Protein backbone atom coordinates (compact mmCIF):
# COMPACT_ATOMS: atom_id res chain seq x y z
CA UNK A 1 0.00 0.00 0.00
CA UNK A 2 1.31 3.43 -0.94
CA UNK A 3 2.28 5.58 1.98
CA UNK A 4 0.02 8.60 2.24
CA UNK A 5 1.47 12.01 2.73
CA UNK A 6 0.54 13.38 6.15
CA UNK A 7 -1.46 16.06 4.38
CA UNK A 8 -3.62 13.59 2.51
CA UNK A 9 -4.49 11.72 5.68
CA UNK A 10 -4.82 14.17 8.54
CA UNK A 11 -4.53 12.22 11.78
CA UNK A 12 -7.11 12.74 14.44
CA UNK A 13 -5.62 14.75 17.32
CA UNK A 14 -3.79 12.26 19.53
CA UNK A 15 -5.25 12.29 23.02
CA UNK A 16 -2.66 13.97 25.19
CA UNK A 17 -2.54 11.19 27.69
CA UNK A 18 -1.38 8.77 24.98
CA UNK A 19 1.69 10.83 24.28
CA UNK A 20 2.87 10.76 27.88
CA UNK A 21 5.18 8.17 29.38
CA UNK A 22 2.97 6.40 31.88
CA UNK A 23 5.89 5.48 34.13
CA UNK A 24 6.08 9.09 35.26
CA UNK A 25 2.35 9.66 35.73
CA UNK A 26 1.44 12.29 38.27
CA UNK A 27 1.01 11.37 41.87
CA UNK A 28 -1.48 14.23 42.26
CA UNK A 29 -3.94 15.16 39.56
CA UNK A 30 -4.22 18.80 38.51
CA UNK A 31 -7.86 18.76 39.65
CA UNK A 32 -6.84 17.63 43.15
CA UNK A 33 -4.22 20.37 43.47
CA UNK A 34 -6.65 23.00 42.24
CA UNK A 35 -9.24 21.84 44.74
CA UNK A 36 -6.71 21.91 47.56
CA UNK A 37 -5.22 25.35 46.85
CA UNK A 38 -8.12 27.35 45.44
CA UNK A 39 -9.56 30.08 47.64
CA UNK A 40 -13.34 29.81 47.57
CA UNK A 41 -15.23 33.01 46.73
CA UNK A 42 -15.87 34.98 49.90
CA UNK A 43 -13.50 32.87 52.02
CA UNK A 44 -11.67 34.66 54.82
CA UNK A 45 -7.96 33.97 54.98
CA UNK A 46 -5.41 33.83 57.78
CA UNK A 47 -2.13 33.37 55.93
CA UNK A 48 -0.25 32.75 59.20
CA UNK A 49 -2.24 29.51 59.50
CA UNK A 50 -1.52 28.29 55.96
CA UNK A 51 1.67 26.21 55.71
CA UNK A 52 4.40 27.61 53.48
CA UNK A 53 6.41 24.37 53.49
CA UNK A 54 3.69 21.85 52.59
CA UNK A 55 4.64 19.20 50.02
CA UNK A 56 1.03 18.65 48.85
CA UNK A 57 1.65 14.94 48.45
CA UNK A 58 4.39 15.46 45.84
CA UNK A 59 7.68 13.61 46.19
CA UNK A 60 11.01 15.33 45.75
CA UNK A 61 12.59 12.30 43.99
CA UNK A 62 9.94 12.26 41.28
CA UNK A 63 9.26 16.00 41.15
CA UNK A 64 11.51 16.67 38.18
CA UNK A 65 9.92 13.92 36.08
CA UNK A 66 6.45 14.97 37.14
CA UNK A 67 7.14 18.58 36.20
CA UNK A 68 8.50 17.45 32.82
CA UNK A 69 5.35 15.41 32.22
CA UNK A 70 3.11 18.28 33.26
CA UNK A 71 5.00 20.66 30.98
CA UNK A 72 4.68 18.28 28.06
CA UNK A 73 0.94 18.41 28.43
CA UNK A 74 0.91 22.19 28.93
CA UNK A 75 2.96 22.49 25.74
CA UNK A 76 0.49 20.47 23.68
CA UNK A 77 -2.50 22.40 24.97
CA UNK A 78 -0.75 25.75 24.57
CA UNK A 79 -0.07 24.87 20.93
CA UNK A 80 -3.75 24.09 20.46
CA UNK A 81 -4.73 27.35 22.19
CA UNK A 82 -2.39 29.17 19.82
CA UNK A 83 -3.76 27.34 16.78
CA UNK A 84 -7.34 27.96 17.84
CA UNK A 85 -6.83 31.78 18.11
CA UNK A 86 -10.11 32.21 19.95
CA UNK A 87 -9.34 32.41 23.63
CA UNK A 88 -6.49 33.28 25.98
CA UNK A 89 -5.18 32.53 29.46
CA UNK A 90 -3.81 35.00 31.98
CA UNK A 91 -1.72 33.67 34.87
CA UNK A 92 -1.06 36.30 37.55
CA UNK A 93 1.82 35.77 39.99
CA UNK A 94 2.03 37.81 43.18
CA UNK A 95 4.33 37.32 46.15
CA UNK A 96 6.71 38.90 48.64
CA UNK A 97 10.27 39.42 47.39
CA UNK A 98 12.35 36.29 46.84
CA UNK A 99 9.30 33.99 46.92
CA UNK A 100 10.26 32.85 43.44
CA UNK A 101 8.11 34.55 40.83
CA UNK A 102 11.00 34.62 38.36
CA UNK A 103 11.99 31.01 39.10
CA UNK A 104 8.42 29.80 38.64
CA UNK A 105 8.20 31.52 35.27
CA UNK A 106 11.56 30.09 34.16
CA UNK A 107 10.73 26.55 35.23
CA UNK A 108 7.21 26.38 33.90
CA UNK A 109 7.45 28.29 30.65
CA UNK A 110 10.79 27.04 29.36
CA UNK A 111 10.22 24.86 26.35
CA UNK A 112 6.84 26.37 25.41
CA UNK A 113 6.40 28.00 22.01
CA UNK A 114 7.58 31.57 22.74
CA UNK A 115 5.35 32.90 19.95
CA UNK A 116 2.29 32.10 22.07
CA UNK A 117 3.56 33.26 25.45
CA UNK A 118 3.85 36.77 26.76
CA UNK A 119 5.43 37.55 30.13
CA UNK A 120 4.99 41.05 31.57
CA UNK A 121 6.65 42.39 34.72
CA UNK A 122 5.14 45.37 36.47
CA UNK A 123 7.35 47.83 38.31
CA UNK A 124 6.40 51.11 39.97
CA UNK A 125 4.50 53.05 37.28
CA UNK A 126 6.38 55.85 35.58
CA UNK A 127 5.86 58.24 32.66
CA UNK A 128 2.55 57.73 30.85
CA UNK A 129 1.68 54.81 33.15
CA UNK A 130 1.55 57.16 36.10
CA UNK A 131 -0.54 59.64 34.08
CA UNK A 132 -3.34 57.11 33.54
CA UNK A 133 -5.61 55.05 35.73
CA UNK A 134 -3.88 52.04 37.30
CA UNK A 135 -5.53 49.49 34.99
CA UNK A 136 -4.43 51.22 31.79
CA UNK A 137 -1.03 49.56 31.52
CA UNK A 138 -2.44 46.27 32.76
CA UNK A 139 -5.17 46.06 30.16
CA UNK A 140 -2.67 46.86 27.41
CA UNK A 141 -0.53 43.91 28.51
CA UNK A 142 -3.36 41.36 28.61
CA UNK A 143 -2.88 38.35 26.33
CA UNK A 144 -4.23 38.45 22.79
CA UNK A 145 -6.38 35.61 21.47
CA UNK A 146 -4.35 32.43 21.34
CA UNK A 147 -1.81 33.66 23.88
CA UNK A 148 -0.82 32.59 27.34
CA UNK A 149 -0.04 35.75 29.30
CA UNK A 150 1.89 35.70 32.55
CA UNK A 151 2.02 38.70 34.88
CA UNK A 152 5.02 39.00 37.19
CA UNK A 153 3.29 41.37 39.64
CA UNK A 154 0.14 43.00 38.35
CA UNK A 155 -2.77 45.33 39.06
CA UNK A 156 -2.78 43.77 42.54
CA UNK A 157 0.20 45.98 43.42
CA UNK A 158 -2.35 48.77 43.41
CA UNK A 159 -4.06 47.28 46.47
CA UNK A 160 -0.87 45.87 48.03
CA UNK A 161 2.24 48.09 47.98
CA UNK A 162 0.05 51.11 47.31
CA UNK A 163 -1.99 50.36 50.43
CA UNK A 164 0.91 49.36 52.67
CA UNK A 165 3.03 52.38 51.72
CA UNK A 166 0.04 54.73 51.78
CA UNK A 167 0.56 55.97 48.20
CA UNK A 168 -3.14 56.78 47.88
CA UNK A 169 -5.85 57.31 50.55
CA UNK A 170 -7.66 54.22 51.88
CA UNK A 171 -10.89 55.36 50.30
CA UNK A 172 -9.23 55.15 46.89
CA UNK A 173 -7.56 51.73 47.14
CA UNK A 174 -10.62 50.17 48.77
CA UNK A 175 -12.71 51.00 45.70
CA UNK A 176 -10.23 49.13 43.58
CA UNK A 177 -11.37 45.67 44.70
CA UNK A 178 -14.61 46.30 42.89
CA UNK A 179 -12.82 47.65 39.82
CA UNK A 180 -10.58 44.60 39.76
CA UNK A 181 -13.46 42.15 40.10
CA UNK A 182 -15.28 43.88 37.28
CA UNK A 183 -12.18 44.20 35.10
CA UNK A 184 -11.43 40.49 35.46
CA UNK A 185 -15.08 39.72 34.84
CA UNK A 186 -14.90 41.65 31.58
CA UNK A 187 -11.75 39.77 30.57
CA UNK A 188 -13.47 36.47 31.34
CA UNK A 189 -16.59 37.41 29.40
CA UNK A 190 -14.45 38.34 26.42
CA UNK A 191 -12.54 35.04 26.32
CA UNK A 192 -9.61 35.32 28.74
CA UNK A 193 -9.41 32.79 31.55
CA UNK A 194 -7.80 34.43 34.57
CA UNK A 195 -6.00 32.47 37.30
CA UNK A 196 -4.04 34.06 40.11
CA UNK A 197 -1.35 32.50 42.30
CA UNK A 198 -0.02 33.90 45.55
CA UNK A 199 3.36 32.31 46.21
CA UNK A 200 3.28 31.92 49.97
CA UNK A 201 6.78 32.03 51.47
CA UNK A 202 7.65 32.26 55.17
CA UNK A 203 9.50 35.21 56.64
CA UNK A 204 12.35 32.91 57.72
CA UNK A 205 12.71 31.43 54.26
CA UNK A 206 12.72 34.91 52.77
CA UNK A 207 15.57 35.86 55.15
CA UNK A 208 17.61 32.85 53.94
CA UNK A 209 17.01 33.75 50.31
CA UNK A 210 17.84 37.42 50.78
CA UNK A 211 21.08 36.44 52.59
CA UNK A 212 21.92 34.10 49.73
CA UNK A 213 21.39 36.94 47.26
CA UNK A 214 23.74 39.16 49.20
CA UNK A 215 26.40 36.47 49.50
CA UNK A 216 26.32 35.15 45.94
CA UNK A 217 28.03 37.47 43.42
CA UNK A 218 25.82 35.96 40.68
CA UNK A 219 22.67 36.92 42.56
CA UNK A 220 23.69 40.12 44.31
CA UNK A 221 22.26 42.26 41.49
CA UNK A 222 18.80 41.10 42.52
CA UNK A 223 19.13 42.54 46.02
CA UNK A 224 17.47 45.90 46.56
CA UNK A 225 17.77 47.74 49.85
CA UNK A 226 14.05 48.47 49.49
CA UNK A 227 13.39 44.73 49.92
CA UNK A 228 14.30 45.19 53.58
CA UNK A 229 11.78 48.03 53.96
CA UNK A 230 9.06 45.74 52.60
CA UNK A 231 10.28 42.92 54.86
CA UNK A 232 9.92 45.19 57.89
CA UNK A 233 6.29 45.69 56.85
CA UNK A 234 5.62 41.94 56.58
CA UNK A 235 2.50 41.98 58.79
CA UNK A 236 0.98 44.84 56.85
CA UNK A 237 1.65 43.04 53.57
CA UNK A 238 0.07 39.83 54.85
CA UNK A 239 -3.02 41.78 55.90
CA UNK A 240 -3.12 43.41 52.45
CA UNK A 241 -2.78 40.04 50.68
CA UNK A 242 -5.45 38.46 52.90
CA UNK A 243 -7.95 41.19 52.12
CA UNK A 244 -7.11 41.40 48.41
CA UNK A 245 -7.47 37.65 47.97
CA UNK A 246 -10.68 37.59 50.00
CA UNK A 247 -12.17 40.42 47.95
CA UNK A 248 -11.16 39.19 44.51
CA UNK A 249 -11.18 35.39 44.52
CA UNK A 250 -14.17 34.71 42.31
CA UNK A 251 -15.57 31.62 40.66
CA UNK A 252 -14.24 32.66 37.27
CA UNK A 253 -10.99 34.31 38.37
CA UNK A 254 -9.88 32.37 41.45
CA UNK A 255 -6.85 32.85 43.68
CA UNK A 256 -4.60 29.97 44.65
CA UNK A 257 -2.36 30.08 47.72
CA UNK A 258 0.73 28.10 46.71
CA UNK A 259 3.21 26.97 49.38
CA UNK A 260 6.52 28.40 48.21
CA UNK A 261 9.24 27.52 50.74
CA UNK A 262 10.22 24.54 48.57
CA UNK A 263 10.87 25.54 44.99
CA UNK A 264 10.03 22.12 43.57
CA UNK A 265 6.61 22.10 45.25
CA UNK A 266 5.90 25.67 44.11
CA UNK A 267 6.83 24.90 40.50
CA UNK A 268 4.80 21.71 40.36
CA UNK A 269 1.76 23.28 41.98
CA UNK A 270 1.68 26.28 39.62
CA UNK A 271 2.29 24.00 36.62
CA UNK A 272 -0.65 21.80 37.64
CA UNK A 273 -2.90 24.83 38.12
CA UNK A 274 -1.97 26.04 34.64
CA UNK A 275 -2.48 22.58 33.16
CA UNK A 276 -5.87 22.27 34.80
CA UNK A 277 -6.88 25.64 33.36
CA UNK A 278 -5.86 24.59 29.86
CA UNK A 279 -7.51 21.18 30.20
CA UNK A 280 -10.78 22.81 31.14
CA UNK A 281 -10.55 25.13 28.15
CA UNK A 282 -9.84 22.12 25.98
CA UNK A 283 -8.70 24.17 22.96
CA UNK A 284 -9.40 22.60 19.60
CA UNK A 285 -7.16 22.32 16.59
CA UNK A 286 -8.85 24.30 13.80
CA UNK A 287 -10.57 22.41 11.00
CA UNK A 288 -8.21 22.01 8.04
CA UNK A 289 -9.15 23.62 4.75
CA UNK A 290 -11.55 21.60 2.66
CA UNK A 291 -10.26 19.60 -0.26
CA UNK A 292 -6.90 18.59 1.15
CA UNK A 293 -7.51 14.87 0.53
CA UNK A 294 -5.40 13.49 -2.21
CA UNK A 295 -3.07 16.47 -2.47
CA UNK A 296 0.40 15.28 -3.42
CA UNK A 297 3.41 17.35 -2.43
CA UNK A 298 5.99 16.99 -5.18
P1 LIG B 1 10.69 42.17 41.21
O2 LIG B 1 10.82 42.30 42.70
O3 LIG B 1 9.27 41.99 40.76
O4 LIG B 1 11.62 41.15 40.64
P5 LIG B 1 11.72 44.82 41.19
O6 LIG B 1 12.76 44.45 42.20
O7 LIG B 1 12.11 45.78 40.11
O8 LIG B 1 11.13 43.54 40.52
O9 LIG B 1 10.46 45.38 41.98
C10 LIG B 1 9.41 45.99 41.34
C11 LIG B 1 8.86 46.99 42.34
O12 LIG B 1 7.82 47.71 41.70
C13 LIG B 1 8.28 46.34 43.57
O14 LIG B 1 8.79 46.93 44.73
C15 LIG B 1 6.78 46.63 43.45
O16 LIG B 1 6.15 46.77 44.68
C17 LIG B 1 6.81 47.92 42.66
N18 LIG B 1 5.53 48.14 41.97
C19 LIG B 1 4.94 47.39 41.05
N20 LIG B 1 3.74 47.91 40.70
C21 LIG B 1 3.58 49.03 41.46
C22 LIG B 1 2.54 49.98 41.57
N23 LIG B 1 1.44 49.88 40.85
N24 LIG B 1 2.72 50.99 42.42
C25 LIG B 1 3.84 51.08 43.16
N26 LIG B 1 4.86 50.21 43.11
C27 LIG B 1 4.72 49.18 42.26
C-alpha 39 to ligand 1 mean position (Å): 24
pTM of the model: 0.91
Closest by CA position to 183, among listed 139, 143, 137, 144: 139
Domain residues for 190? 28-281
Among protein residues, the one whose CA lies closest to atom 24 of ligand 1 = 124
The C-alpha atoms of residue 298 and residue 51 are separated, in whole angstroms, by 62
In a domain, 181, yes or no: yes
Looking from the CA of residue 224, the nearest atom of ligand 1 is: 6
CATH, residue 88? 3.40.50.300
In a domain, 176, yes or no: yes
C-alpha 266 to ligand 1 mean position (Å): 21
Q: Dump pLDDT digits (tens) for 134-184.
A: 999 999 999 999 999 999 999 999 999 999 999 999 999 999 999 999 999
Looking from the CA of residue 102, the nearest atom of ligand 1 is: 4
In a domain, 13, yes or no: no
In a domain, 166, yes or no: yes
Best residue among 97, 121, 124 to mutate for probing ligand 1, ranked by most atoms within 8 Å of CB: 124
In a domain, 131, yes or no: yes
The C-alpha atoms of residue 252 and residue 108 are separated, in whole angstroms, by 23
In a domain, 289, yes or no: no
Domain count, the chain: 1
Looking from the CA of residue 226, the nearest atom of ligand 1 is: 14
In a domain, 288, yes or no: no
| CB-based burial, 34-50: b 16+ in 10 Å, e otherwise | beebbbeeeeebeeeee
Q: Dump pLDDT digits (tens) for 5-23.
A: 333 344 455 444 444 444 4
Q: Dump pLDDT digits (tens) for 250-285.
A: 999 999 999 999 999 999 999 999 999 999 999 999
The C-alpha atoms of residue 243 and residue 241 are separated, in whole angstroms, by 5
Amino acid sequence: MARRSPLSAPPAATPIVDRVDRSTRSTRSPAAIVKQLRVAPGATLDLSKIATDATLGFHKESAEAELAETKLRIDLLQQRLFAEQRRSVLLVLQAMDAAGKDGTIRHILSGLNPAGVQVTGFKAPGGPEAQHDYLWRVHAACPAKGELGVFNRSHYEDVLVVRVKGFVPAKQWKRRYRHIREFERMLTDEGTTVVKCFLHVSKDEQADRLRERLDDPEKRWKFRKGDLDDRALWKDYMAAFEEAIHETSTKDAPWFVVPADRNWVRNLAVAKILLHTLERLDPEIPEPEEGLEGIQIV
